[in-house]
Chains A and B, each alone.
Chain A
Amino acid sequence: MNAPASHIEPAVQTLAPVIEASGLGLTFATNDGPVNALSSVDLAIGKGEFVSFIGPSGCGKTTFLRVIADLEQPTEGTILVNGMSPRAARQARAYGYVFQAAGLFPWRTIERNVALPLEIMGYPRREVDERIARTLALVNLTGFEKKFPWQLSGGMQQRASIARALAFDADLLLMDEPFGALDEIVRDHLNEQLLELWARTQKTICFVTHSIPEAVYLSTKIVVMSPRPGRVTDVIHSTLPRERPLDIRESPEFLSIAARVREGLRSGHGYED
């Protein structure tokens, strides 16, 4: 359990990257002139990695996630998802996306919400039921199948939305500040569960966050970003073991990684305005 699984990257790097961005840039045309949301981003994410994107508001971390998901179109550079264009990857249903708000459909019960992507993708009826049961068990929501979203707490709603993203066979999970609106205690709990889920499902996870401890606790790789223009200022490979109890956050190793993240944020002038 305590075996140092420190250097995961060499093994990971040999596999074909799930996401490969080079010279990626995105400029929004607004009424106040062009806004440079992303500028010359080069990044490769390997299979099975847990990558956090951290930085202040406006650093383009959400934009980058949305580019991967084909919800925004880059204006410069190239990006490949599973070796395809983001559009092709989206059409191949290569990823599940978890938004900042749960975004459950209020007229559907929890199980019908989880069934939504399966209905759209045309999974056979029997398999749908089986997948609902399996993914709800994965996020510890068994027994809440028939509840409507408003009957659940915010944390449970967010877990249901994660189940919805896991219900179909996508190897990539894109999470945009999924726990941002939740309180610290619930967030700790969900972070633990998310790590457990990642270990069980072997998915590649891209995770956007504001929180340094959250990023360090969860990730195998931390991408530090800074605003105006949105760019990557540092990429930190975590040396923490894969098995991470919550109190690992007090270990010197954890603190030194956190210090490096903070340093990266500061050098990007992220905190100055």
Chain B
Amino acid sequence: MRTSAAAPVAAAAPQQEGVLSRLAAGNTLPIVIVVAAIVVAWYGFAVYLNMPWQLGVYERSGTTWTFADLVRDTLAQERPVLPSPHQVFAEMWRTTVEVAPTSRRSLLYHAWVTLSSTLLGFALGTLLGILLAVFIVHNRAMDKSVMPWVVASQTIPILAIAPMIIVVLNAVGLTGLLPKALISTYLSFFPVVVGMVKGLRSPEPIQLDLMRTYSASAAQTFWKLRWPSAMPYLFTSLKVAVAISLVGAIVGELPTGAVAGLGARLLAGSYYGQTVQIWSALFMAAALAAILVAVIGAGHRMVLKRMGMAQ
């Protein structure tokens, strides 16, 4: 209502001002400023952190140097303590655009390996989380007995339990995608259980009484009342779950000496001091997480709109 009333006013204003004020009013300007500040700070730290090594080089070779030399050289080291942003993006460009995505040297290939186990783990975790929540909500004994275990499971550091999962599953003959995915499952079922228990319990007493006056069966009450009520909670949980699924998949690639995946890239990078490679893998992981969360967010909006709840 309000936007439609405001639209003619905006159209009447001069166009340049419209664009500028829209940028200032929206999220764009603040985001641009924050990103610019981060990039500037990053360059500053890159020079500062790479300086000791660079000074050592100058001293050993006896060259005289200016500040401009120092800045140029610290930002172009082959194995810097902190690579500069343009080095990272050059590396990312080289390993995504200039290499075939099927190649071992392509970052996209590694991203896909990680993504596939993320998605499998996320799907299993969501399913497990929803099932557990349904049992917990419908069964008092389950509520008392399962919930403490669910919480306890998350107090164990994933880095400690991940190698155990991989080793045990390898011993029973499960290798490849599934063990890694199960680590994602282990992490991602938790927010789904917690969110769905709350969501399935979110109907008001009046609504539950109403279903009782109809003598509705438990299944009818579930599908017509509890499940739709839980949708907003489900999607909020899924956003958290998908992000930590990615963490789980990466962690799962670390202890196995996996040959492919973003975790393997991180590990290989740290073995050989390839900080540029580490940072580009980190950025790829962050981009992947952002995309996954955005996809869930789009699904969330779509479902709410279909349910008439997006006002």
Q: Which residues of A contact B (CB under 8 A)?
A: 69-71, 90-91, 93, 95-97, 99-101, 103, 105-109, 116-117, 119-121, 148, 150
Q: Is the CB of B214 within 8 A of A120?
A: yes
Q: Is the CB of B210 within 8 A of A109?
A: no
Inside 8 A of A90's CB, which chain B residues have their CB? 212-213, 215
A42: min CB distance to chain B, Å: 25
B204 within 8 Å of A (CB atoms): yes
Interface size of B as a range: 20 to 34
- Chain A residue with the shortest CB-CB distance to B231: A107
| Other-chain residue from A93, A105, A109, A148 in contact with B214 (beta carbon distance below 8 A) | A93
> What 5 pairs across the A-B complex have the smallest Cβ distances?
A107-B307, A148-B308, A103-B206, A97-B213, A120-B216
A70–B213 Cα distance when bound, in Å, is: 8
Inside 8 A of A101's CB, which chain B residues have their CB? 204, 206
- Chain A residue with the shortest CB-CB distance to B228: A107
Inside 8 A of B211's CB, which chain A residues have their CB? 120
Inside 8 A of A121's CB, which chain B residues have their CB? 214
Inside 8 A of A109's CB, which chain B residues have their CB? 308
Inside 8 A of B231's CB, which chain A residues have their CB? 107
Known A105-B228, A107-B231, A116-B214; further 6 A-B contacts with Cβ < 8 A? A71-B213, A99-B209, A101-B204, A103-B206, A105-B224, A120-B216
Inside 8 A of B210's CB, which chain A residues have their CB? 97, 99, 103
Residues from 165 to 195 in B contacting A, C-beta threshold 8 Å: none
- Given A120-B220, A150-B311, do A105 and B207 touch, yes or no (CB 8 Å)? yes
Inside 8 A of B209's CB, which chain A residues have their CB? 71, 97, 99
Interface of A is mostly: loop
A213–B167 Cα distance when bound, in Å, is: 77
- Given A71-B209, A103-B204, A103-B206, do A117 and B214 touch, yes or no (CB 8 Å)? yes
Interchain Cβ contacts under 8 Å between A and B, 6 examples: A71-B212, A90-B212, A105-B207, A107-B228, A116-B214, A117-B214
A121–B211 Cα distance when bound, in Å, is: 11
Residues from 258 to 305 in B contacting A, C-beta threshold 8 Å: none
Inside 8 A of A96's CB, which chain B residues have their CB? 213
Inside 8 A of A95's CB, which chain B residues have their CB? 213
B96: min CB distance to chain A, Å: 42
A99–B215 Cα distance when bound, in Å, is: 16
Inside 8 A of B160's CB, which chain A residues have their CB? none
Q: Is the CB of A106 within 8 A of B214?
A: no
B215: min CB distance to chain A, Å: 5
A97–B311 Cα distance when bound, in Å, is: 29
A32: min CB distance to chain B, Å: 21
B84: min CB distance to chain A, Å: 51
A103–B215 Cα distance when bound, in Å, is: 17
- Chain B residue with the shortest CB-CB distance to A101: B206
- Chain B residue with the shortest CB-CB distance to A165: B213
A106–B308 Cα distance when bound, in Å, is: 8
- Chain A residue with the shortest CB-CB distance to B206: A103
A232–B211 Cα distance when bound, in Å, is: 29
A103–B205 Cα distance when bound, in Å, is: 9
The listed residue with most A CB atoms (<10 A of its CB), out of B209, B308, B309, is B308
Q: Is the CB of A91 within 8 A of B215?
A: yes
B225 within 8 Å of A (CB atoms): yes
Inside 8 A of A117's CB, which chain B residues have their CB? 214
A109–B215 Cα distance when bound, in Å, is: 22
Q: Is the CB of A106 within 8 A of B309?
A: yes
Inside 8 A of B224's CB, which chain A residues have their CB? 105, 116, 119-120
- Chain B residue with the shortest CB-CB distance to A161: B210
A40–B217 Cα distance when bound, in Å, is: 33
A171–B216 Cα distance when bound, in Å, is: 19
A95–B207 Cα distance when bound, in Å, is: 16
A105–B207 Cα distance when bound, in Å, is: 8
A69–B206 Cα distance when bound, in Å, is: 13
- Chain B residue with the shortest CB-CB distance to A96: B213
A103–B213 Cα distance when bound, in Å, is: 13
A12: min CB distance to chain B, Å: 25
Inside 8 A of B212's CB, which chain A residues have their CB? 70-71, 90
Residues from 205 to 257 in B contacting A, C-beta threshold 8 Å: 206-207, 209-216, 220, 224-225, 228, 231
Inside 8 A of A150's CB, which chain B residues have their CB? 311
A130–B206 Cα distance when bound, in Å, is: 27
A150: min CB distance to chain B, Å: 6
B205: min CB distance to chain A, Å: 9
A7–B125 Cα distance when bound, in Å, is: 68
Q: Is the CB of A107 within 8 A of B213?
A: no
- Given A91-B215, A106-B309, do A99 and B228 touch, yes or no (CB 8 Å)? no
Q: Is the CB of A107 within 8 A of B206?
A: no
A150–B307 Cα distance when bound, in Å, is: 12
A108–B216 Cα distance when bound, in Å, is: 17
The interface bits of chain B over 147-171 (1 if a CB of A lies within 8 angstroms of the residue's CB, else 0) are 0000000000000000000000000
